[in-house]
């Protein structure tokens, strides 16, 4: 009987089989895609969850307001922390159970290191002139800012210019150069470079004054401003006319920090980045000694340091070169060798002859002629941010006070203060003058109880670019070695930055500060901090941060999470005043910062991203699975219910001839099972081909699942329609499907008649609208959940990578939900049109044209689709709102608009599908339709 029914109703069986085929194949492939996407996402997260360190410990109060509110760690967080954790606290944390590596960083301060930048001017020289002068007018570009810097000068003569032979080479000032003209010997560079203020020295005998002679006595600059550009002007004196460069003294702020060499090697592999000399070891300690050529027989502290090969600050000089009208060349040596040289040179007129450029970082010294000292060092505070709708806005501060640049020697100013320090200030700069008791182990008088200023002796150099890399998706700030990555956030910003990342400049109070360029050992800290005139926090608690790797951590699995949480909990319990952040599973998160009139993008660190992503992935995958299953099952139930409804007369007739309810149930379920088996067999082959084309792993195993899925869906989805079939009575075979109308009312338009027809057959209308409502509602829910998922996990590099991987599965889920729902509605509409064939035939027999009937059917389809679409959109939005948890936050208009577009798509699809039954019925004569009825 079942096979006979299937042969007799081949069209209906094939249509239902096609529906089962599409639903089962789509469900299997889609869930496989979702599962594969979930597995890939989880694998990506787990592979990139481990960063350089798992826990970050900072002093109390080091976490800013934005960090606390948003769960972020500032990219430049270490730059504003100078002490706050004691060495005893570090020792205790290092010895805690579960701590594999505890690597401290103790920022001490910035010192000024002087170098010489060369600006080649060879092409601007007059080869025929016996002596000549050039002026260089530079403009410094540092990031988006420009600074007019000091004029620089070059004097070139055919006469020999050299150091005095009577002075030892290693004790002569750099610019004590003398020119022998044959009529006299003149110190041609010294007066301009060392007597800019034209001050005099006082005779100790009679109290009179005389011009300052070339000597080692420094010029008195107490009344001058360190920001006066002219104080940084320099005169280069050279012999020859071929290769000549202006040698401009420049200063570089260099951050000195102390580390534990053993822990640092274990944490980041510092020993692998050494380019010359050797790495620091735990045996490197300060040494008290003397009898070095540069110590002048005095005793001193010698502190070992490891130098970075790079200055880590950047800027470009663009200079206009002028040839000066210096008058008679023969008179130049005498004019330059007199105390009036400064005013003479500055007053010369010049003729522009070209431009020259130079990178400011090129002047950073490759080696030191004399070990640098810590006469002064400076510390800087953190940046204060406020969050706005457009991003982060750092609060500017008042300009620097010149007083922070005074030294401890007779209240003089530091030489060569970088021009960038006149720019916008975002950080508080604090000066820490050194003691004035060279050669004494313990100071007396105003520096009583302190120690003498140490010398810094390099033991080697390293290149931070050679450090072993960590995953770019899970980087945490490594400010000990790298500056934060800051780029233009829009076209205007990228243009202002010349399409280059923003790098730290030499402004101590600027937005970005350079990471440490000198490293020393923890044992050196007391020698450095106790050489300051005023005690500070660094004396008692010098450590700025501790980076911790936890033993036994392999990723973000529960066991690893428990180990990290245990270590963090122990630290919080032992030292409740410290700021403890868990950084495992963190990822860089781009932040927009409004800086100096431009918007830049800076990567802060979002904590716990990996754990959040894994949870969101599991939730989203479960929701997708359930919704796709519901859509497929209800699609088949719709098709089966429509098929049973179209067989009312047949089933009623069977009941008339004695068939029982159980017989009808077995007949309907048997037919559905047979159709499901056939559709499943065809779907297995189709699924295998599609799986191979889509690149799904294990395509054969997943294709084999289509057959049982198809059978299960067919039987499950057909259970309710089969039960409905058993409820049909023998009289239903002759009862018309159209509900009897009540009080009649005139209808004046085709649209009105279409609406009246839909109301007369409420069952068919509700059944048809239900398919579209289901599709649009599922589409709306899936789209909202997809957008919410991306909103939850996006915003970090790891989250963005996950979203990119999951995008195809998300789109496939959303599209399939709409297509299956619309397909179910179209199936019901087609069957309903067949059910009402006799009604349409009557209208045609009474004079209605084929065009009018087509418009009537089309209007019914549009109204039906509009009803289903709007109902589904409202139901979908209501479901999303019921889910709650801010799913629609920021996406309400997007989801509502998409629901509206889904409704329009459903109307379009229904209208197009109705063209086929309309055309088919228009070709059948009304007499044939009425005879069949």
pLDDT per residue as tens digits for the range 205-224: 555 545 556 665 667 777 78
Of the listed ranges 85-94, 521-530, 569-578, 762-771, the least confidently predicted one is 762-771
| Residue 527: pLDDT band with limits 50, 70, 90 | very high
Measured CA to CA, the distance from residue 802 to residue 40 in angstroms comes to 9
Q: Does residue 785 have a pLDDT over 50?
A: yes
Contacts of residue 278, defined as CB under 8 A and 6 or more positions apart, other chains included, come to: 459, 460
Question: 458: how many CB neighbours lie within 10 A of its CB?
Answer: 16
Burial class (CB in 10 A: 0-12, 13-18, 19+), 184: exposed
- Angle (CA) 176-181-184 rounded to 5° is 75
What's the 3-state SS for 590-654? Answer: EEEEEECCEEEEEEEEECCHHHHHHHHHHHHHHHHHHHHHHHHHHHHHHHHHHHHHHCHHHHHHH
Task: Choose between 203 and 397: higher pLDDT.
Answer: 397
- Is the CB of residue 7 less than 8 Å from the CB of residue 672? no
d(CA 214, CA 190): 7
pLDDT tens digits, one per residue of 896-908: 777 777 778 777 8
Buried b (16+ CB within 10 A) or exposed e, 9-21: beebbebbbbbbb
Give per-residue pLDDT as tens, 472-513: 433 444 445 667 778 888 888 888 888 888 888 999 999 888
Place of tokens 């969850």: 49
Question: With 60 as the cut, is the pLDDT of residue 887 above it?
Answer: no
Give 236's strand partners: 154
Helix spans in 463-578 (H): 491-496, 525-529, 537-540, 558-574
**Residue 166 confidence (pLDDT):** 64
Exposure of 558 by Cβ count < 10 A (0-12 exposed, 13-18 middle, 19+ buried)?
exposed
Per-residue pLDDT at 74 exceeds 70: yes
Q: State the pLDDT confidence band at 695, using cuts at 50, 70 and 90.
A: low
- Give the Cα separation of 751 and 852 in Å (integer): 11
> What's the pLDDT tens digit per position in 531-575?
998 889 999 999 999 999 899 887 667 787 788 888 989 999 999
pLDDT range class, residue 155, cuts 50, 70, 90: very high
Do 491 and 498 touch, CB atoms closer than 8 A? no
pLDDT of 30 > 50? The answer is yes
Of 524-528, 578-582, 723-727, 786-790, which range is least confident?
Answer: 786-790
Residue 86, pLDDT > 90, answer yes
Of 867, 883, 693, nearest in space to 783 by CA: 883
**Range among 615-629, 740-754, 764-778 with highest mean pLDDT value:** 764-778
Element (H, E) at 900: helix 892-922
Length of the chain: 933
Query: pLDDT-derived band of residue 459, with 50, 70 and 90 as boundaries?
Result: very high
**Rounded Cα gap, residues 744 and 765, in angstroms:** 20
Structure confidence at residue 905 (pLDDT) = 77
Structure tokens at 464: 């931070």
156 is written with which tokens?
């070139």
How many helices (H) and strands (E) the chain has is answered by: 24, 29
Give the Cα separation of 416 and 755 in Å (integer).
Answer: 88
Contact 351, 327 (CB under 8 A): no
Residue 810: the pLDDT is: 55
User: How high does pLDDT run on average in the chain?
Assistant: 76
Tell me the C-alpha distance between 142 and 315, whole Å: 4
Q: Which of 6-20, 242-256, 359-373, 544-558 has the highest mean pLDDT?
A: 242-256
CA-CA-CA-CA dihedral for 365, 368, 373, 377, to nearest 10: 10
Measure the CA–CA gap between 79 and 479, rounded to whole angstroms. Answer: 8
Percent of the chain at pLDDT > 90 equals 19
Q: What pLDDT does 140 receive?
A: 92
Q: Quick one: angle between helices 837-845 and 797-835, nearest 10?
A: 60
What confidence tier does 321 reach under pLDDT thresholds 50, 70, 90?
A: very high
> Of residues 617 and 56, which shows the higher confidence score?
56
> 731 or 847: whose pLDDT is higher?
847
Considering only residues 762 and 807, tell me which one the structure prediction assigns the higher pLDDT: 762
Note whether 632 and 640 are within 8 A (CB): no
Q: Tell me phi and psi for residue 593, to 5 degrees.
A: -120, 125
**157-182 burial code (b ≥16 CB/10 A, e <16):** bebebeeeeeeeeeeebebbbbbebe
What is the mean predicted confidence (pLDDT) over 850-864?
79
pLDDT higher than threshold 60 for residue 253: yes
What is the rounded distance in angstroms from the CA atom of residue 882 to the CA atom of residue 886? Answer: 10
Gyration radius from the chain CA atoms: 42
The pLDDT score that the predictor gives to residue 618 is: 55
Cα separation of 696 and 752, whole Å? 51
Which whole-number Å values give the CA distances from 377 to 114, 226, 517, 582, 601, in the listed order? 14, 16, 14, 33, 31
CA angle 90, 95, 98 (to 5 degrees): 115
What is the percent of the chain with per-residue pLDDT over 70, rounded to a whole number?
A: 66
Residue 375 contacts residue 130 (beta carbons within 8 Å): no
Place of tokens 């009862």: 735
Nearest to 780 by CA among 717, 874, 889, 662: 874
What's the mean pLDDT in 798-817? Answer: 51
Closest alpha carbon to 27 in 828, 805, 712? 712
Look at residue 295 and tell me whether its pLDDT is greater than 60. Answer: no
Kindly state the tokens that stand for 303: 């502190």
Q: Name the residue with tokens 């706005």.
A: 388
Evaluate the CA torsion angle 790, 791, 795, 796 in order and state its sign: negative
Q: Lowest mean pLDDT of 323-337, 745-759, 791-805, name the range.
A: 791-805
Which residues make beta-bridge pairs with 102? 548
Overall average pLDDT of the 43-68 stretch: 74
Q: Among 636, 635, 643, 649, which Cα is nearest to 668's?
A: 643
Cα 793 to Cα 795: distance, rounded to the nearest angstrom: 7
> Does residue 658 sit in helix, strand or coil?
coil
Please state whether the predicted TM-score (pTM) of the whole model is above 0.85. Answer: no
**3-class DSSP state for residue 531?**
coil
Look at residue 354 in the predicted model and tell me its pLDDT: 93
The Cβ of residue 215 has, within 10 Å, a number of other Cβ atoms equal to 11
**Nearest of 287, 292, 368, 291 to residue 111 by alpha carbon:** 368
> Do 725 and 668 touch, CB atoms closer than 8 A?
yes
Mean predicted confidence (pLDDT) in 315-343: 90
* Confidence at residue 708, expressed as pLDDT on a 0 to 100 scale: 78
CA distance 13 to 601: 60
Q: Is 445 exposed, middle or buried (0-12, 13-18, 19+ CB in 10 A)?
A: exposed
Contact indicator for 23, 632 with CB cutoff of 8 Å: yes
What is d(CA 277, CA 287) in angstroms, rounded to the nearest whole number? 19
The Cα–Cα gap between 560 and 820 comes to 43
Which residue, 774, 771, 788, is CA-closest to 883? 788
Dist CA 418 CA 250 (whole Å): 8
Highest mean pLDDT among 1-5, 167-171, 506-510, 833-837: 506-510
pLDDT for the residue numbered 473: 37
The three-class DSSP label of residue 239 is strand
Distance CA 828, CA 860 (A): 13
Of 329, 380, 320, residue with least CA distance to 356: 320
Say whether pLDDT at 249 is over 60.
yes
pLDDT mean over 92-105? 93
């Amino acid at each position: 009987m079942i096979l006979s029914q299937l042969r007799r109703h081949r069209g209906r069986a094939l249509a239902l089989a096609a529906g089962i085929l599409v639903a089962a194949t789509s469900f299997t492939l889609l869930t496989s895609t979702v599962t594969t996407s979930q597995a890939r996402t989880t694998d990506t997260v787990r592979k990139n969850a481990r960063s350089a360190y798992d826990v970050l410990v900072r002093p109390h109060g080091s976490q800013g307001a934005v960090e606390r509110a948003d769960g972020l760690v500032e990219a430049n967080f270490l730059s504003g922390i100078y002490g706050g954790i004691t060495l005893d606290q570090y020792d205790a944390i290092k010895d805690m159970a579960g701590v594999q590596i505890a690597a401290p960083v103790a920022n001490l301060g910035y010192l000024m290191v002087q170098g010489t930048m060369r600006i080649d001017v060879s092409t601007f020289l007059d080869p025929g002139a016996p002596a000549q002068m050039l002026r260089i007018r530079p403009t410094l570009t540092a990031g988006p800012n420009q600074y007019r810097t000091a004029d620089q000068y070059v004097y070139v003569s055919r006469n020999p210019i050299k150091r005095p032979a009577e002075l030892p080479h290693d004790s002569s000032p750099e610019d004590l150069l003398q020119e022998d003209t044959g009529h006299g010997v003149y110190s041609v560079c010294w007066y301009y470079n060392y007597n800019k203020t034209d001050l005099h020295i006082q005779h100790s005998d009679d109290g009179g004054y005389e011009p300052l002679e070339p000597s080692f006595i420094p010029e008195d600059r107490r009344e001058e401003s360190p920001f006066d550009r002219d104080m940084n002007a320099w005169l280069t004196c050279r012999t020859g006319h071929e290769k000549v460069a202006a040698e401009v003294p420049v200063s570089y702020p260099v951050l000195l920090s102390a580390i534990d060499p053993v822990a640092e090697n274990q944490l980041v592999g510092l020993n692998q980045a050494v380019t010359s000399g050797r790495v620091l070891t735990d045996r490197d300690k300060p040494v008290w000694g003397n009898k070095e050529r540069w110590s002048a027989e005095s005793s001193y502290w010698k502190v070992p340091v490891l130098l970075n090969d790079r200055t880590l600050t950047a800027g470009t000089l663009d200079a206009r070169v002028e040839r000066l009208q210096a008058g008679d060349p023969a008179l130049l040596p005498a004019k330059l060798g007199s105390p009036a040289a400064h005013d003479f040179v500055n007053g010369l007129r010049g003729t522009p002859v070209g431009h020259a450029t130079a990178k400011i970082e090129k002047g950073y010294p490759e080696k030191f002629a004399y070990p640098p000292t810590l006469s002064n060092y400076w510390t800087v505070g953190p940046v204060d941010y406020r969050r706005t709708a457009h991003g982060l806005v750092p609060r500017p501060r008042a300009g620097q006070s010149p007083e922070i640049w005074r030294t401890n020697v007779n209240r003089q100013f530091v030489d060569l203060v970088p021009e960038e320090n006149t720019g916008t200030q975002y950080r508080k700069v604090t000066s820490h003058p050194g003691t004035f008791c060279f050669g004494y182990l313990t100071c007396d008088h105003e520096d009583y109880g302190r120690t003498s200023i140490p010398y810094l002796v390099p033991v080697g150099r390293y290149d931070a670019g050679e450090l072993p890399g960590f995953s770019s998706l899970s980087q945490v700030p490594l400010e000990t070695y790298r500056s934060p990555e800051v780029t233009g956030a829009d076209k205007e910003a990228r243009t202002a930055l010349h399409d280059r990342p923003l790098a730290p400049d030499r402004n101590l109070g600027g937005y970005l500060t350079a990471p440490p360029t000198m490293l020393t050992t923890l044992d050196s800290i007391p020698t450095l901090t106790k050489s300051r005139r005023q005690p500070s926090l660094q004396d008692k608690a010098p450590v700025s941060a501790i980076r911790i790797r936890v033993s036994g951590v392999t990723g973000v699995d529960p066991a690893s999470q428990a180990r990290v949480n245990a270590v963090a909990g122990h630290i919080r319990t032992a030292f409740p005043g410290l700021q403890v952040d868990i950084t495992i599973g963190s990822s860089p998160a781009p932040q927009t910062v409004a800086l100096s009139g431009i918007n830049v993008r800076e990567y802060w660190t979002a904590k716990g991203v990996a754990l959040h992503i894994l949870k969101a992935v599991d939730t989203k995958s479960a929701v997708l699975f359930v919704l796709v299953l519901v859509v497929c099952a209800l699609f088949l139930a719709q098709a089966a219910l429509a098929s049973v409804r179209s067989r009312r007369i047949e089933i009623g007739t069977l009941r008339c001839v004695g068939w029982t309810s159980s017989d009808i149930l077995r007949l309907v379920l048997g037919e559905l099972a047979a159709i499901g088996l056939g559709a499943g067999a065809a779907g297995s082959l189709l699924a295998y081909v599609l799986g191979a084309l889509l690149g799904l792993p294990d395509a054969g195993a997943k294709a084999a699942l289509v057959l049982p899925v198809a059978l299960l869906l067919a039987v499950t989805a057909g259970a309710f329609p089969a039960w409905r079939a058993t409820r049909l009575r023998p009289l239903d075979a002759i009862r018309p499907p159209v509900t009897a109308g009540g009080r009649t009312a005139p209808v004046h338009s085709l649209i009105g008649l279409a609406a009246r027809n839909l109301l007369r057959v409420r069952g068919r209308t509700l059944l048809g609208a239900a398919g579209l409502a289901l599709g649009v509602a599922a589409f709306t829910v899936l789209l909202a959940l997809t957008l919410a998922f991306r909103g939850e996990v996006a915003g970090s590099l790891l989250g963005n990578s996950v979203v990119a991987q999951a995008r195809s599965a998300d789109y496939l889920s959303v599209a399939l939900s709409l297509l299956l729902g619309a397909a179910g509605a179209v199936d019901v509409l087609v069957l309903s049109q067949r059910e009402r064939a006799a009604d349409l035939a009557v209208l045609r027999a009474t004079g209605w044209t084929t065009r009018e009937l087509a418009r009537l059917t089309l209007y019914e389809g549009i109204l039906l689709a509009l009803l289903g679409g709007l109902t589904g959109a409202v139901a979908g939005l209501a479901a999303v709102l019921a889910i709650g948890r801010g799913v629609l936050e920021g996406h309400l208009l997007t989801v509502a608009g998409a629901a509206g577009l889904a409704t329009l798509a459903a109307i379009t699809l229904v209208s197009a599908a109705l063209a086929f039954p309309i055309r088919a019925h228009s070709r059948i004569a009304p007499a044939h339709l009425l005879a069949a009825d």
